[in-house]
Amino acid sequence: MRLVNRSMVTIDDLSNEEIEAVFSLADEMSDSMNGQSNVCQGKIMASLFFEPSTRTRLSFETAMHRLGGNVISAIDVNATSLAKGESIADMARVVGSYADIIVIRHPWEGAAKVTADYAGVPVINAGDGSHEHPTQTLCDLYTLKKERQTIKGLRIALCGDLKYGRTIHSLIYALTRLGATTFLWPGSGLDMPEHIKQKLITEYGADVEKIPADTLPSLLVGREDLAVDTSLDAIYITPSRAHQLALIPDISIPIDLVKEYDALYITRLQKERLAATTEAQDLKRDYPVVDRKLLKGKEFKRTLVMHPLPRIDELAYEVDADPRSMYFKQAARGVPIRMALIALLLGDKEVDIPDKEVPPIQKRAYPLYRRDSGISCPNLNCVSVQETETRYMKPEFEIVTNEPLTLRCVYCEHEVRPKYIASSEWHQGMLKSKKYHSAHSHLVRRIKPENLIIFNSESEAQAHGFKPSNYASKR
């Protein structure tokens, strides 16, 4: 298998088999890590960090040095020409003409995809806003694999800031794809975003079930000291079931909640992502805490305690010496994982993948919606709505489903459900109809995706010269 010249923007850019192959190569890299190889001699990695970071950047740079390659770095937005108003596309094209591979961290969701679109060399996403952080997920999965031999069938609880935690988002996609069952224990107000739960269902065939508060595991109850709001519902995600496209909110089948957890994955509150109006103090009040007391619960007897680091208060230092604590191992394993990934994307290493195995989950292809005017991504942090980027970039969406009409931004993966539609079908040099309809009308199924015109509001439709049809107000 050759991964050469591919980019890793989301965890979905590697198939399950390719992830396994990265792990095999990482094992090989670990063996020869003290000392320097010449696998990537003469190659240059650009490390572009537009957000504060020590750990991830140094991990990538260590990996490149251990491979015998060179590193050029730009850190902190204030020290770069982005301060002069430069676009990501320009930066990507220029740096792509210097370096052989680019690693980028950026506060805007989708920035890594734009970099990959323009750089002309492989790009690795080292975190783009609250979107994804796929190499952290590789480290997490690699740790699970080393400790438990397999991911399939593991029971894993994800705790803390599930809303803004990009490591969580990449991780839950991978865990679901690889057959693990996940339990969500968010801090209050920090639930997993709807568009991510939707993607788990539509892309990976997951069941997403709400667990009634009164059947909660000890993970969530009996912790009066933590002031957990027991009215909080937990969420239970199982992979690869048959029924799709539906959230089942009030399933009451008894779930074996007291069975042991294989891993407890906790993250810090991503303060830097909070809207200016949000009170960090409010969110911290009910934030989950992993400490010695919690880990005494019988369901945690052999649970791996994981954290992407840095931590603040959500993971007590008293747990550090506990053999179940994996977080420093996760960090250390980042180096061989990143060595393997860099070497593969640069084509300096290849790996074998047995041909007979077929990926159980295929990436789904949706029709694209891409027009100059009209609807744009509702996520204010999406790269596609930033002033410097709209100079060259159009909003672009996947049409995930027609009922209700749902678009997913190709950059940040947020979803939008527009209200009005029209058709751009032409007949004898004329638009067949200059009428707009409700997106909830049956006409949405009749218009071919390539002819679809979408409006955010009636006034927008009318400004474009469209008049309401009989179906404009029908729901």
Q: Which residues bind a second copy (CB under 8 A)?
A: 34-36, 41-44, 46, 48-49, 52-55, 57-59, 61-62, 65-66, 70-76, 78-86, 89-91, 93-95, 97-100, 268, 271-272, 309-313, 317, 320, 328, 331-332, 335, 391-392
CB 292 within 8 A of CB 316: yes
> Which residues, including other chains, have CB under 8 Å from residue 253's CB and lie 6 or more apart?
none
Q: List Cβ neighbours of 434 (8 Å cut-off, separation of 6 or more).
A: 422, 465, 466, 467
Nearest distance from C-beta of residue 306 to a second copy, angstroms: 14
User: Cβ 348 to a second copy, closest distance in Å?
Assistant: 12
Nearer to a second copy, 80 or 215 (CB): 80
Q: In the complex, what is the shortest distance from the CB of residue 236 to a second copy, in angstroms, rounded to a whole number? A: 30
Q: Cα separation of 190 and 205, whole Å?
A: 24
Residues 276 and 99: their CA atoms lie apart, in Å, by: 37
- Of 126, 109, 138, 130, the C-alpha closest to 48 is 126
**How near is the Cβ of 444 to a second copy at its closest, in Å?**
33
Pick from 304, 351, 358: nearest CA to 146 = 304
CA atoms within 13 A on the CB side of 142: 30
Return the number of the residue (12 or 161) whose C-beta is nearest a second copy.
161
Give the residue with the Cβ less far from a second copy, 122 or 179: 122
62 versus 218: smaller Cβ distance to a second copy: 62
- The residue among 83 and 368 lying less far from a second copy, judged by its C-beta, is 83
Q: How far is the CB of 93 from a second copy (least distance, A)?
A: 5
Q: Check whether the bond before 404 is cis (ω within 30° of 0).
A: yes
Q: Which is nearer to a second copy, 2 or 446 (CB)?
A: 2
For residues 287, 289, 295, 296, the Cα torsion angle rounded to the nearest 10 degrees is: -80
What lies within 8 Å, CB to CB, of 101 at 6+ separation is 43, 44, 45, 46, 121, 122, 123, 124, 342, 345, 346
The 8-class DSSP code of residue 364 comes to: P
CB of 335 to a second copy, least distance (A): 6
Token reading at 14: 């590697």
Q: Tell me how far, at minimum, the Cβ of 142 lies from a second copy, in Å.
A: 14
- Chain centroid, CA 291 distance in Å: 27
Least distance in Å: CB of 343 to a second copy?
16
Q: 93 or 464: whose CB is closer to a second copy?
A: 93
Helix-strand-coil percent breakdown of the chain, rounded to 5? 30, 20, 50
> Least separation, in Å, of the C-beta of 145 and a second copy?
18
State which residue, 81 or 473, has the beta carbon closest to a second copy: 81
Peptide bond preceding 310 in cis form (omega within 30 of 0): yes
> Residue 290 carries which DSSP code?
B
Query: 42 vs 212, which CB is nearer to a second copy?
Result: 42
Q: How far is the CB of 78 from a second copy (least distance, A)?
A: 7
Nearer to a second copy (CB atom), residue 95 or residue 168 = 95
Alpha-helical regions (H) of 256-373: 280-285, 327-345
